[in-house]
Structure 1
Amino acid sequence: MGALFAEQIRATQKSFPFLEVVGEAGAGKSTLIEFMWKLCGRRDYEGFDPSKSSLAARARNFAQVSNLPVVLIESDRERVGGDKGPHVKGFDWDELKTAFNGRSVRARGMATGGNETYEPPFRGAIVISQNNEVAASDAILQRIVHLTFDRKGQTPKTREAAVQLESLPVEEVSGFILLAAQREAEILKTLAARTPEHEAALQANPEIKSTRVAKNHAQLLALSDALRLVVPLTDDQHAALQSQIVAMAVQRQQAINSDHPLVQEFWEAFDYLDSGGAPLNHSRKPDDEIAVSLNHFIQVARERGQQVPSIGDLKKYLRTSRRHRFVDTRNVNSAIRAQLDEQREVKSTAVWCWVFERNKSKS
């Protein structure tokens, strides 16, 4: 429902969050999204795959609609090593940063011979649906409200309900968009009044630190209040919905606080190898810092049969490390090479390393 008023919400509140729907195959994501499209009068449609689209095609998809969602599906194709083969480039989520505030996602020059450019504003809402969670920068993760689906609660009864949703004709449910539009003034008034209240309550929650996370989920909480103007929710349903949104805010904060999965994988392999007789820390001050030669790390990991990300991916994400804060890349007077010097001739003890400040509480 919020997507139907994305323009009006951004006009007063300056932003509108992205919705991420993630879950294992068969969890019901496509059934849900296709039914939501029916509420908006569109049949037999889910979304488009940005990984298969050119930059121009993506820009046109974003510019086609106003106050409707733009759904991005199955764009999680980035993979590294393993039995799936080499790295495969996926969609760059940073392209979406400006859409959060309703600004253009792409600019192009005009064929006028002058300096004119065309930058159509983004007037819709973003929905992301895929099997794996978005792996992106903090800036993107903070713009997302996240829902996870699985198959744990599926029964023959829920399957029957899903089939009924799939079989409902558009004509029987598309009145939702009309009812919402007719109550636009009331909905926007509710949002204006309730969003600041919910935002203050979320900011008072000790588990939520990010003001953007608090604002995004406060908008959802206010929308859950306004939804009662369109859909007859019971008090129990409304309370459960609000409880779920607060839990989503806490989970989003936790996701922001944690390292990128590739960084987590790197530190797990580093700890295993470094403590297992294959020293990897070249620093002369091992209690205070960690100096890692990525080439040395990958060589040792392969010799010990460890699956590790490619060096290109490590260089891309290690700068964001939170477990041990990234400091610099520089030549280090290697303690490891100094030990080898006693056994055989070593021409130089200088090694180019990625240097991190050791977090002693997590070492």
Structure 2
Amino acid sequence: MNRTTLGLACACLCLSSTLALGQAARPAAPPSVTVYGLVDEGVEIIDGRNDGAGGTTTSVRVGSGTAASRFGIRGNTGDMMPTIKGLFALEAGISADLGTLGQGGRIFGRQAFVGLQGGWGTVSLGRQLTMRFHGMQDADIFGAGSHGLGTLDSGVPNARADNAIAYTGTWGAITGGFNYSVGRDASPSAGSTSAAATNCAGEAVDKAQCREWSAMLRYAPGGWGVATAYERQYGGTTAVAATSSTPAVPATFGGLTSPSKTDSRWTLNAFGRIGGSQVGAGLLARDNQGSAATPRSRLYWLAVKTPVPDTAFTVDAMVATLRFDDSPNGADLLNLRGSWLLMKDLQAYVTLAHLRNKGTSALSASSGTPSAAPPAGRAQSSVITGVKYMF
């Protein structure tokens, strides 16, 4: 072996040893914590609001538009262990028009959980989004903004549960999940109840009181997919009158005043891309025993999200209809939205909703608060012009 060959062999050996040592000494990915959120506010004009005297009026207010404002912190332990890592999320809903907290005034009312994650899936504990939310999110293009499916079913943007244990796992193109809550919602809102704060604490002597469970299955092999989910909520208690020593306690929201009453939702959705457009369609069937008159309903929708070629504009549209079994009640909804991406994290928009009530229904075209419902059986329109900043 000549000196050149020997020198090259020694150099290769030294380089290989250095790379091996460097690989062995390379630290695992460090823990990470991320602060994130968005603020979305707009000026809203509502035409067809009930004036309290049998007629309608037009009013102006400031509130959320295309998304619910929020502030969150999330993190994970990185790859400190070979097969498992920890994770957490603390997320607060914010009413930016008032500077107050959402979800009944809870500090972290949107999410507050901790969990473990590995190749086998994720297990998490705390206040969490239910599997019904995860089953609908791909097809629900308008999301939790003031103009969306929440105008027809207030439970759509409020799919969360306290005291919950959840599991999700992915196997190729299939994702599945399950959650179970022993007390789905401990918070009333300012002494009253709402879809966001239902006053159903659970963890009581009656083991069925305020329980909630949901399951989800999603198949997405590529540019399209289908998903289905089922959720059942159990009722809580009736109202308790005030005494000289205790304040009044409101009844559980939505007429679910007993653990024997349930509110069940089943959804089937499809989503995908057609050309450059995102398309989502779905069915939400509901059996709400808290409503004695019209417990069974079906909500259908079709939504499209289309970028305008060679511009920073996006146009969204949705048609939806709500029908109650054995009843003339219901509503038809049309949503249109135009968004302009001013910067990477800054968006301006105009969104329009027109809702036509049927029978004695009195649903509002906007899910903003306070409620601005029309007279029973009447139509209503809402226009919001606003700005969304994401960070």
Q: Same fold (TM over 0.5)?
A: no
* TM-score between the two structures when normalised by the length of structure 1: 0.22
Bigger RCO of structures 1 and 2 (CA < 8 A, at least 6 apart) = 1
Higher strand fraction: Structure 1 or Structure 2?
2
Higher helix fraction: Structure 1 or Structure 2?
1
* TM-score between the two structures when normalised by the length of structure 2: 0.21
